[in-house]
Amino acid sequence: MTSRCGSEYKSKFSSILAQGGSQVVGETLIRFLDKVCEHVQNIKSNLDFKKIEEFISALENARCIFVMGAGRSGFVAKAFAMRLMHLGYNVYVVGETVTPRIKPEDLLIAISGSGETLSVVNISRRAKEDIGSKLVAITQRPESTLAKMSDIVIVLKGKDKYERNHELSKLAPLGTLFELTALIFLDGLVAEIMNLKQLTEEDLAERHAVLE
């Protein structure tokens, strides 16, 4: 049985195509890509390089690195954890069954656009206040609960998932812009660390999984 929801969307899309010419398929996609490029350029122009240096130093000095995020930010966290592993760091994803206990000499990286996601805030508070671990927040809200408790705050300003911007919401709903820019920023950070450590793609490939 076709779901009613899916069937309604398919019918609406077919109707638009049948009308011929009221809207060209692909226009919204191009507008979305233009908006992402504009957003990344804005992030690039407002980077705090002192904070980035502190972030890299925290990575270097940590015994182990723990990363976390909720929802799509969690996928970004896992992607970053994978690259940190490729770079040679001892890294774990919070919530995985093989993740060990965090200790005071460890680093927790928490990714949350709003900085108010309950699970992320609660786990971060426990690591920071109860354990004494160092905490890095990657967020778009420097005034958030997560940012205020963190040792280092990387601000990536984007559309807050609670922000009401009708036009932008039609292109990039909820936390889309933050999640994309967080991924791009963290991949850029990987490139920076590769350069600092004089690592090559071949060096990273040696640590890449073969049991796939």
Give the residue numbers annotated as catalytic, written as ranges.
179
Distance, CA of 198 to CA of 210 (rounded, Å)? 24
Q: Quick one: 21 exposed, middle or buried, by C-beta within 10 A (0-12, 13-18, 19+)?
A: exposed
Beta bridge partners of 29: none
Distance, CA of 40 to CA of 35 (rounded, Å)? 9
Q: Are 59 and 107 a contacting pair, CB within 8 Å?
A: yes
